[in-house]
Amino acid sequence: MASTRKVPLRKCVGCGEMKPKKELIRVVRCEDGNFVLDATGKKNGRGAYICNSGDCLGKAVKSKGLERSFKQAIPPEVYERLEKEMNEIEAR
């Protein structure tokens, strides 16, 4: 059996494209209802993924992709943190 390693793909809530997990930022809703950005992908809770891209963040805000994914309103500071996180990743 040839072992073709499958890269796990996740859908970006901004552009809607399927991408490898490591190219995406995971947004997690913890059990206490708080949202965190999960760089390690290991946190428990319901997660959504978004490309490391300001374009996708803008699209997600407009299309309410995160709201739809979590079926609830997303606090503005979650978007602010995402934006900050993306800027930091770009600066590396």
* Residue ranges binding Zn ion (CB under 5 A): 12, 14-15, 51, 56
Beta-strand ranges (E) seen in the chain are: 9-11, 18-20, 24-29, 35-38, 46-51
Q: Which is nearer to Zn ion, 16 or 34 (CB)?
A: 16
If the CB atoms of residues 28 and 48 are measured against Zn ion, the closer one turns out to be 48
The least distance separating Zn ion from the CB of residue 28, rounded to whole angstroms, comes to 18
Which one, 27 or 51, has the nearer CB to Zn ion? 51
